[in-house]
Amino acid sequence: MLFFIHTNISAQTNKDTEGKISALISKMTLQEKVNMLHSNSSFTSAGVPRLGIPELVTSDGPHGVRQEHGRGWQGQKDVNDSGTYLPVGIALAATWNPALGFAFGEVLGSEAKYRGKNVILGPGINIMRSPLNGRNFEYQSEDPFLVSRMTVGYIKGVQSQGVSACVKHFIANNEEVDRGTVDVQMSDRTLREIYLPGFKAAVQEAGVNTIMGAYNKFRGQYCTHNAYLVNNILKGEWSFTGLLMSDWGAVHNTMEALQNGTDLEMGSDIGKPALKFPESFLGDTVVTLVEAGTIPESLVDEKVRRILRVMFKSSVFTKASAGEYGSDAHIATAGKVAEESIVLLKNQDHLLPLNTAATKSIAVIGSSATRRQSMGGGSSHVKALYEITPLQGIHNYFGKAEVTYAEGYTIERNSIPTAAMISEAVAAARKSDVAIVVAGWSHGYNYSKWSDNAFDAEGVDKPDMQLPFGQNVLIKAVVAANPNTIVVLIGGGPVDMTQWIGNTKAIVEAWYGGMEGGNALAAVLSGAVNPSGKLPVSFPKVLEDVPAHKLGDFPGKDGVVIYREGIFVGYRYYDTYKVKPQFAFGHGLSYTGFTYSNMQIKKAANGAAVVTVTIQNTGKVAGAEVVQLYVHKEKSTIERADKELKGFEKIYLQPGVSKKISVTLDADAFRYYDEVTKVWKTEKGDYTILAGSASDDIRVSGTVKW
Ligand code: BGC
């Protein structure tokens, strides 16, 4: 039997630590080693107390440290577990600001440390293949380059605190309904160009310490113990030296887990049937297998080595600084991310910003205006120290205006607004200067039971792209009653706006904005903050326009989902096949204007190109622009997307000021993965570099020849 043991590990990591690890392993009994390979409570795995090795303590999640569970699954009472609730992943990515990614990670790392956690189970970076995926809100984007840039910042931020990040879910967990069983099939080119780059950047650029294997299968084998993904790519090609843990209950086979790189089996007690911890796939059976000579003990040692290596990096053996919890500085970061994440989608007649002195009366309509979101969505839920709702934020910023609130709709299963609710909303809109309808998805109906998750939540996918709870009817009625209506959308991705977008003057995407979300929203509505968020995912007009859905490949059939759209995910599809989305990838308006001029391209060493562009703020207020650089291959002989994002920079400019920015596109920016020879190649010929404010708003371009 062949066992995959990675030989190039020691050379890459600190020799002293490797020596200490070897010494510890040499003192451990086989049983002690095996005890370390699986969970021993809901979020911990065993240490070896007699050798001074403590447990490894993990915790969700991607936008805040999850409430305290003790060793089981029940939330604990009387513990200090109310902390910073950061905006969700899609909101972070909408900032297009990797420095904020780092700041976000620092907050999480610091709070995890304060709470005694060694590994924070984030970031989630699965590609948004369909708007229906219930967990898109936790993820970042449809674009692998944007995912990579935001992820690297986030991971470095977490790990700067002496806490390990855990990038998840490796890979292709792009739907929730059948995540535990579905077999994902895609071409190698699709895998390499779309689904892997974020994870590769996490490993090779950010040095992520841990990775979580996905629940689903890939080409017939579970991802967590998938020979190709883990042995060949992750630990082989990418030389990953940290630990691969399973998702909770995602291990299904002892020999595969042993041979194919699963280092730590987590959530063993929640599989079906539920296992007791020693019965884990990587539990006592492994002792028997080693004793019988079926597997060499070195295979177990290698996993223990990886776990110990992560322990050393997660300060379990050293006294790390204390960290902070719910501090003013952390809350300020949550607020800053929320402000930069908000995307102004439409702003006809300059309805926004609303002048705080001149706006005398505001109708705030919609149940989401008063809803707290932090405790919903599944494993990523957070007990927030507080959470400013949209209505509270509006009160805070428009203190002088008369604010009338109407519920408009109720967040309950199958509910539609009653005639009385519509009349109340219409009356409020009619008597007010402006109406703000807060609409969108929700994480659940009520959060009293786990299974109540809905729409943007773990374990569920949305039924369609329609706003639930009769919100389309409500919006149409309010827009008809007051032409100065602003629709604010809360949620983890696009909704079908076709019924009301034509008559609606202003639309704002506010995601799930974290504890300061309501203040950030009101700051943008009032103009105190100039919006600078850009869509990290295309907003199609209707679900049928989404390639995976057009092809009938979501969520798949008979337990298999084939990604027949291949590399044509999101704007790669819309731009190439000339399907106009409602709002394009990278779109986001500002209260000021920017001009682009004078693009210059210089070839640099190793196949890179340095692109410079001059950007000027031509309006009357300060603002930020995300300058996006896309690459288009002229006369390509292979099938390619019309353009691909390969660089971006967010710049802040005072009114009238211009600045020359310089972005390096490395050699990878021009490459494609050749399906036949299985290598990355650069086609010879002309490449057009397109600089713009959105994927459908290109302002200047230039050419480079390779
Ligand atoms: C989720 C993971 C999460 C884990 C622990 C799983 O069901 O898919 O993202 O980290 O539970 O709560």
Tell me the pLDDT tens digit for each residue of 259-268: 999 999 999 8
Q: Which residue's CA is the nearest one to ligand 1's atom 7?
A: 248
Residue 175's Cα: distance from chain center in Å? 14
Nearest to 129 by CA among 537, 559, 544, 466: 537
* Distance separating alpha carbons of residues 625 and 95, to the nearest angstrom: 10
Give the Cα separation of 315 and 614 in Å (integer). 45
Q: Which atom in ligand 1 lies closest to the alpha carbon of residue 379?
A: 12
Q: Is 505 in the pocket of ligand 1 (CB under 6 A)?
A: no
Res 7: pLDDT: 44
Q: Whose CA is nearest to atom 11 of ligand 1?
A: 248
Q: Name the residue among 458, 570, 423 with its Cα closest to residue 93.
A: 570
The pLDDT value given to residue 174: 98
CB 136 within 8 A of CB 492: yes
Mutate to test the pocket of ligand 1, among 458, 460, 461 (most ligand atoms within 8 A of CB): 458
- For 266, the 3-state DSSP assignment is coil
For the chain, give the percent of residues with pLDDT over 90: 93
Rg (CA), the chain: 25
How many angstroms separate the CA atoms of 125 and 137, rounded? 10
Residue 3 binned pLDDT confidence (cut-offs 50, 70, 90): very low
Q: Is the pLDDT of residue 46 over 90?
A: yes
| Crossing angle of the two packed helices 144-159 and 98-114, in degrees rounded to 10 | 40
- Residues 349, 355, 358, 361, Cα dihedral to 10°: 90
Strand order in the sheet with 217-218: 221-222, 217-218, 183-185, 560-562
Does residue 379 line the site of ligand 1, with CB under 6 A? yes
Ligand 1 geometric centre to CA of 169 (Å): 9
509 lines ligand 1 (CB under 6 A): no
Instruction: Name the residue type at position 88.
Output: V
Strand pairing class (217-218; 221-222): antiparallel
Residue 239 CA to ligand 1 centre (angstroms): 25
Half-sphere exposure of 144 (CA within 13 A, CB side): 22
Tokens of 89: 């992943």
Ligand 1 touching residue 125 (CB < 6 A): no
Please report, for residues 84, 192, 362, the alpha-carbon distance to residue 328 in angstroms, rounded to integers and kept in the order given: 10, 41, 30
- pLDDT per residue as tens digits for the range 85-111: 999 999 999 999 999 999 999 999 999
170, 183, 253 from 215: Cα distances, Å = 9, 10, 13
**Ligand 1 contact, 456 CB (< 6 A):** no
- Residues 141, 539 contacting (CB under 8 angstroms): no
Ligand 1 lined by 58 (C-beta under 6 Å): no
Q: Return the pLDDT at 270.
A: 84
CB-neighbour burial class of residue 501 (10 A; exposed 0-12, middle 13-18, buried 19+): middle
Closest CA to 684 of 636, 642, 640: 636
**CA separation for the pair 339, 97 (Å, rounded):** 12
The Cα–Cα gap between 338 and 323 comes to: 22
Task: In whole angstroms, give the CA distance from residue 165 to residue 167.
Answer: 6
Q: How many CB atoms lie within 10 A of CB 15?
A: 9
Q: What does the alpha-carbon distance between residue 405 and residue 391 come to, in Å, rounded to a whole number?
A: 8
Q: Please choose from 42, 67, 379, 382 the residue to mutate so as to test ligand 1's pocket, defined by most ligand atoms within 8 A of CB.
A: 379
Comparison of pLDDT for 70 and 499, the residue scoring more: 499
Cα 214 to middle of ligand 1, angstroms? 9
Give start and end residues of each alpha helix (H) in 512-591.
517-526, 547-550, 571-576
Q: Which two tokens stand for residue 564?
A: 């027949």
pLDDT band at 5 (very low <50, low <70, confident <90, very high): very low
Return the pLDDT at 447.
74
pLDDT, one tens digit per residue, over 171-208 is 999 999 999 999 999 999 999 999 999 999 999 999 99
Instruction: Show the tokens assigned to 389.
Output: 């709702």
Nearest residue (by CA) to ligand 1, atom 6, is 248
Catalytic residue among 183, 247, 456, 575: 247
Give the pLDDT confidence of 389-427 residue by residue, as tens digits.
999 999 999 999 999 999 999 999 999 999 999 999 999
Helix (H) or strand (E) holding 593: none
What is the C-alpha to C-alpha distance for residues 54 and 308, in angstroms, rounded to an integer?
A: 10
pTM score > 0.95 for this model?
yes
Classify residue 659 as exposed, middle or buried by CB count within 10 Å of its CB (0-12, 13-18, 19+). Answer: middle
247 belongs to the catalytic site: yes
**CA–CA dist 533, 338 (Å, integer):** 9
In this prediction, residue 2 carries a pLDDT of 42
Q: How far is the CA of 248 from the centre of ligand 1 (A)?
A: 6
Mean pLDDT, the chain, integer: 96
Q: Does 176 contact ligand 1 (Cβ within 6 A)?
A: no
Centroid of ligand 1 to alpha carbon of 518 (angstroms): 28
Residue 550's pLDDT band, with cuts at 50, 70 and 90, is very high
Cis peptide before 61 (omega within 30 of 0): yes
Within 13 Å and on the Cβ side, how many CA atoms surround 287?
14
Crossing angle of helices 328-341/98-114, nearest 10°? 150
Helical packing angle, 284-291 and 297-313, nearest 10°:
140
- Enumerate residues 6+ apart whose C-beta is below 8 A from 612: 598, 599, 600, 601, 602, 660, 661, 662, 663
Q: How far is the CA of 668 from the centre of ligand 1 (A)?
A: 32
Q: Whose CA is nearest to atom 8 of ligand 1?
A: 247
Residue 38 has pLDDT above 70, yes or no: yes
In sequence order, the 6+-apart residues with CB closer than 8 A to the CB of 1 are 259, 295
**Phi, psi for residue 661 in degrees, rounded to 5:** -105, 155
CA-nearest of 47, 78, 45, 38 to 59 is: 45
pLDDT more than 70, % of the chain: 98
**CB of 63 closer than 6 A to ligand 1?**
no
**pLDDT for 13 beyond 60:** no
What's the angle, vertex CA 704, arms to CA 702 and CA 705, rounded to 5?
145
Whether pLDDT at 294 is above 60: yes
CA of 246 to the centre of ligand 1 (A): 9
The DSSP line for 278-333 is GGSTTSHHHHHHHHTTSS-HHHHHHHHHHHHHHHHHTTSSS------SS-HHHHHH
Q: 684 CA to middle of ligand 1, Å?
A: 44
Q: Is 138 in the pocket of ligand 1 (CB under 6 A)?
A: no
Q: Is 541 in the pocket of ligand 1 (CB under 6 A)?
A: no
How do residues 214-249 score in pLDDT, each as one tens digit? 999 999 999 999 999 999 999 999 999 999 999 999
Could you give the angle at the alpha carbon of 401 between the alpha carbons of 398 and 407, nearest 5°? Answer: 85
pLDDT at res. 1: 39
For residues 84 and 683, give the distance between their C-alpha atoms in angstroms, rounded to a whole number.
48
pLDDT band at 4 (very low <50, low <70, confident <90, very high): very low
> Distance from CA of residue 582 to its chain's centroid?
22
Give 552's contacts (C-beta < 8 A, 6+ positions apart).
none
Q: How far apart are CA 369 and CA 391, in angstroms?
A: 5
Query: Is pLDDT above 80 for 320?
Result: no
- How much of the chain is helix, strand and coil, in % rounded to 5? 30, 20, 45
From 66-75, 285-294, 601-610, the region with the lowest mean pLDDT: 66-75
In degrees, to the nearest 5, what angle opens at C-alpha 527 toward C-alphas 524 and 533?
40
